[in-house]
Amino acid sequence: MDKCDTPACQSAREIFEELEEYYDDHNLYFQTIGSVLEAASLLEMPHQLKLILSQPKNEVMVHCPVQMDDGTWQLFKGYRVQHNNVLGPYKGGIRYHEEVKLDEVKTLALLMTMKCALARLPYGGAKGALKINPRSVSQKELERVTRRLTAALGNNIGPDYDIPAPDVGTNAQTMAWMADTYINFAESSTKVTARGIVTGKPLEFGGSAGREKATGQGLVYVLETLLPGIGIDLSAQSFSLIGYGNVGSWTARLLQAKGSELRAVLDHTGAIFSEAGINAEKLATYVQETGGVTGYPDAQKISEDEFYSTPVDLFIPAALEQMVDLEHAKKIQCRVLVEAANAPTTPNAERHLLDKGIEVLPAILCNAGGVTVSYFEWKQNRQSETWDETLVDKRLKKVMRRSAELVLETAVELDCNMRMASYAAALKRIGKVYAMRGVFP
Ligand SMILES: NC(=O)c1ccc[n+]([C@@H]2O[C@H](COP(=O)([O-])OP(=O)(O)OC[C@H]3O[C@@H](n4cnc5c(N)ncnc54)[C@H](O)[C@@H]3O)[C@@H](O)[C@H]2O)c1
């Protein structure tokens, strides 16, 4: 892997040495907090705020014993990391993945703090995870482990305290089980509001119209705001995607509806390409039925190297973290890299892309549509309201446009790249609230 000598890594090193925390240049949390701290330095933020933000407030770890269908027992490790709540209740998804680690969850929680601040949502940042391969267990087993995880988290989550949502490996069904479990524990007088314990629920059970497509939809609104300024017209672009799950497949369908063309996709099963363009709707159905893009009949199979080298206008990582490292960045040929996934680009890869003249649009801006519509769902649950999709989309568009414009203005004001600008805009809001509230005691 590439050695990190960016200003971001230097910023993180300074704070970690002061805190006598162990660090590793290639560690995702170290790299991500480094970028945030670099932005904090640009703003000349007080040192104590840098210290506060450099570690999460709480890191909860639980172990969930669950009996499997064959009668054997397994112990699953769960995490909930609460990074910061100065702006409001902790908010962030729950990920189910067999290789999840604490530092990954810490990183995602930190990014949620930044994302909610940038979108001006009344939330702090958190993230949770369960170390499990959801594809390797039955639905009944998945339900049991989800209910056990919810019970184990207990009062560490709550509709006014910490509100989970779907992420990689979880979906509306997972949220329905979590909500039902939590409601069963709730006092009878709070059972109605207890539904707000999670967002991303099924529509019939307190979910919001437009939540499933929200992250992809928000990303399209960001692109519509920013791309014309750099001479790119969304109605005629080619794009490639890493990941064809919720975020990837909705992004593809919505970009296709605007007139852009999907050329290549890489997911956990392999990579596919078509010079003539891949039909995003048909591919979504195929992935739903088979579990991955490999074998899709109307495209040719390509290698991972060929995928990264495919020339496109927009390159969109929408899978896991650090999937674009320096070696990949050297191969990528695009005009804009759009971060739909969280933390998909390593710092050295980003620097290389920027040096090549490729614009990099940061995740906390591009993928904030999910948490924004989650906020709308939470708000509807609290007010016993049901908004239709047109209203949700209209309000989502307003939030995404405002955030994109703010990032652009901040980039000009501070003469920095878009990632620094997105963190700086978020930190400004957090800094203002800390200045008003002070730091207890
Ligand atoms: N779901 C949301 O609302 C939401 C909101 C904001 C950000 N995100 C972020 O977007 C990203 C994707 O989330 P999602 O909800 O679409 O997850 P998902 O589980 O629906 O899909 C994940 C995708 O990643 C692919 N993938 C996994 N491992 C891979 C590998 N090694 N190589 C290539 N592809 C691989 C899978 O094949 C799948 O297509 C994550 O970074 C997540 O944190 C999701």
Q: What is the CA radius of gyration of the chain?
A: 21
Q: If you take atom 27 of ligand 1, which residue's CA is the nearest one?
A: 268
Cα first-last separation, the chain: 43
- Exposed / middle / buried, residue 86 (Cβ in 10 Å: 0-12, 13-18, 19+): buried
pLDDT of res. 3:
62
Kindly give the distance from the C-alpha atom of residue 247 to the centroid of ligand 1, in angstroms, as a whole number: 7
> What is this structure's pTM?
0.96
Residues of the chain with CATH 3.40.50.720: 214-366
The span from the CA of 72 to the CA of 189, in Å, is 38
Residues 92-110: what's their mean pLDDT?
A: 97
| Residue pLDDT, tens place only, 3-31 | 667 788 888 999 999 999 988 888 999 99
- Tracing tokens 């904030």 back to the chain, one arrives at 368
394 annotated as a binding-site residue: no
CATH class of 58-205: alpha beta
Residues 129-133: what's their mean pLDDT?
A: 98
| Residue pLDDT, tens place only, 230-274 | 999 988 899 999 999 999 999 999 999 999 999 999 999 999 999
Residues of the chain with CATH 3.40.50.10860: 58-205
Architecture of domain 214-366: 3-Layer(aba) Sandwich (3.40)
Residues 261-288: what's their mean pLDDT?
A: 98
Which of 165, 193, 167 has its CA nearest to residue 178? 165
384 annotated as a binding-site residue: no
Kindly give the distance from the C-alpha atom of residue 319 to the centroid of ligand 1, in angstroms, as a whole number: 4
- Tracing tokens 């890489």 back to the chain, one arrives at 266
Q: If you take atom 3 of ligand 1, which residue's CA is the nearest one?
A: 370
Is 127 annotated as catalytic? yes
pLDDT of res. 337:
98
Best residue for ligand 1 mutational test, from 107, 121, 168, 267 (most atoms within 8 Å of Cβ): 168
User: CB–CB of 109/92 below 8 Å?
Assistant: yes
Q: What is the 3-state secondary structure (H, E, C) of the chain?
A: CCCCCCHHHHHHHHHHHHCCCCCCCCCHHHHHHHHHHHHHHHCCCCHHHHHHHCCCCEEEEEEEEEECCCCCEEEEEEEEEEEECCCCCEEEEEEEECCCCHHHHHHHHHHHHHHHHHCCCCCCEEEEEEECCHHHCCHHHHHHHHHHHHHHHHHHCECCCEEEEECCCCCHHHHHHHHHHHHHHCCHHHCCHHHHHCCCCCHHHCCCCCCCCHHHHHHHHHHHHHHHHHCCCHHHCEEEEECCCHHHHHHHHHHHHHCCEEEEEEECCEEEEEEEEECHHHHHHHHHHHCCCCCCCCCEEECHHHHHHCCCCEEEECCCCCCECHHHHHHCCCCEEECCCCCCECHHHHHHHHHCCCEEECHHHHCCHHHHHHHHHHHHHHHCCCCCHHHHHHHHHHHHHHHHHHHHHHHHHHCCCHHHHHHHHHHHHHHHHHHHHCCCC
Kindly give the distance from the C-alpha atom of residue 100 to the centroid of ligand 1, in angstroms, as a whole number: 13
User: Which of 127, 201, 213, 397 does the annotation list as catalytic?
Assistant: 127
- ipTM computed for the complex: 0.99
Q: Is the pLDDT of residue 2 over 90?
A: no
Q: How confident is the model at residue 39 (pLDDT cuts 50, 70, 90)?
A: very high
